[in-house]
């Protein structure tokens, strides 16, 4: 009887400690999320599209140009500086992808134990519907990194409503190996419920700064970029789960999409840095340039994963070429 009582007391004590610990993590994570959202509120419009909120920034005038950001990003990656380079010649439409920035995840893909994800086609269809609300017709669609896969999905699902594609450091073809344990863990039900909140609650600024540095290598991030881009939005729990699940499930989606690239007939401009180690040129853009008839590949010598920051004029030139080839200029 005494042993049973002692065992029960120990069990209750351990359970109380776990609950207390979880409550502390939850409170700290919520505090950090709230601070990030106050520091980086939506700076564009919020549309409601099929029940989901979509954040979009619209500026400039001219032919429509849609910009789609990469993994862990948001509209601020483009509005830091690049939008200013094109807004005098184009009406620029910059979207937050589902689960990132201020765009909702799609219905059913929410919650700490959720393992559902938004495929490139899911995301492209949502953003295309949002663009239609804005009166966008036959835009040039530019996608960077993961956003390149979404841009390709947009063109595959809506070829009649795509004037041209501009693909910057785009994920487009299957890669060997996996993406590492952290993506797998954070994309899982258990990891999403346990590991992700710990990262949100305790990730130091040095970790975020290191991640940004690795994304820009071998170049360095522009002055003030880390403060401007709102990295705190990316480490919110739901955004981390969205990003991990989307990225971790991307390879099979890309395998299926790549079977249809030959069906694309609109002008396609491809830019890729020769020093990109995150989305290597030889695995992605080099084969893509042969999979799409008439695609034009620009190799950017010595440039890493962020050409729209490291070689922005080359990206602007590609947009202009796409516009001319599509008869928009």
Q: All domains of the chain, ordered by start, with CATH?
A: 45-325 (3.40.50.1820)
First CA to last CA distance, the chain: 87
Contact 66, 131 (CB under 8 A): yes
% of the chain surpassing 90 pLDDT: 86
* 179 phi and psi angles, rounded to 5 deg: -100, 5
pLDDT at 109: 81
**pLDDT value at position 119?**
97
Task: Give residue-wise pLDDT tens across range 17-64.
Answer: 333 358 899 999 999 999 999 999 999 999 999 999 999 999 999 999
pLDDT above 70 coverage of the chain, percent: 94
**pTM exceeds 0.85 for this model:** yes
Lowest-confidence segment of 106-120, 238-252, 298-312 by average pLDDT: 106-120
Question: Which range is least confidently modeled, 107-116, 167-176, 221-230, 251-260?
Answer: 107-116
Average pLDDT over residues 296-319: 98
Is the pLDDT reported for residue 218 higher than 80? Answer: yes
What radius of gyration, in Å, describes the C-alpha atoms of the chain?
21
Interatomic CA distance for residues 214 and 304, integer angstroms: 10
Is pLDDT above 50 for 1?
A: no
Beta bridge partners of 165: 141, 268
pLDDT of residue 3: 47
Give the pLDDT of residue 205.
85
What's the pLDDT at 21? 55
d(CA 242, CA 236) in angstroms, rounded, equals 10
Average of per-residue pLDDT values in the chain: 92
User: 3-class DSSP state for residue 112?
Assistant: coil
Question: Residue 268 in contact with residue 167, Cβ under 8 Å?
Answer: yes
Q: Where are the alpha helices (DSSP H) in the chain?
A: 2-39, 76-79, 82-86, 120-133, 146-157, 181-187, 189-202, 205-216, 225-228, 231-234, 237-248, 250-258, 285-291, 307-310, 312-325
Residue with tokens 């881009």: 229
Judge contact between 114 and 106, C-beta under 8 A.
no
pLDDT score at 181: 86
């Amino acid at each position: 009887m005494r042993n049973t009582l002692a065992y029960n007391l120990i069990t209750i004590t351990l359970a109380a400690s776990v609950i207390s610990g979880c409550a502390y993590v939850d409170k700290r994570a919520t505090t950090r999320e709230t601070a990030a959202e106050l520091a980086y509120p939506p700076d564009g419009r919020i549309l409601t599209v099929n029940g989901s909120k979509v954040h979009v920034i619209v500026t400039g005038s001219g032919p429509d140009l849609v910009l789609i950001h990469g993994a862990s990003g948001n509209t601020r990656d483009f509005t830091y500086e690049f939008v200013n380079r094109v807004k005098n010649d184009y009406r620029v439409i910059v979207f937050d992808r589902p689960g990132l920035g201020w765009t909702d995840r799609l219905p059913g893909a929410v919650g700490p134990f959720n393992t559902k994800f938004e495929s490139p086609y899911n995301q492209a269809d949502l953003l295309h519907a949002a663009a239609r609300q804005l009166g966008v017709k036959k835009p040039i669609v530019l996608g960077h990194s993961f956003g390149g896969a979404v841009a390709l999905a947009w063109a595959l699902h809506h070829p009649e409503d795509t004037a041209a594609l501009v693909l910057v450091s785009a994920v487009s073809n299957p890669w060997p190996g996996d993406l590492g344990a952290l993506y797998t863990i954070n994309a899982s039900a258990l990891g999403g419920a346990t590991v992700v909140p710990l990262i949100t609650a305790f990730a130091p600024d040095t970790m975020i700064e290191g991640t940004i540095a690795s994304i820009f290598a071998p170049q360095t991030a522009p002055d003030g970029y880390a403060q401007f881009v709102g990295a705190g939005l990316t480490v919110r729990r739901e955004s981390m789960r969205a990003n991990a699940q989307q990225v971790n499930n991307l390879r099979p989606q890309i395998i299926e999409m790549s079977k249809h690239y030959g069906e694309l007939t609109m002008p396609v401009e491809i830019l890729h840095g020769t020093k990109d180690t995150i989305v290597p040129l030889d695995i992605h853009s080099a084969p893509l340039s042969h999979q799409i008839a008439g695609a034009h590949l620009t190799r950017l010598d010595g440039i890493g994963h962020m050409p729209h920051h490291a070689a922005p004029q080359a990206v602007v030139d590609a947009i202009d070429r796409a516009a001319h080839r599509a008869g928009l200029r």
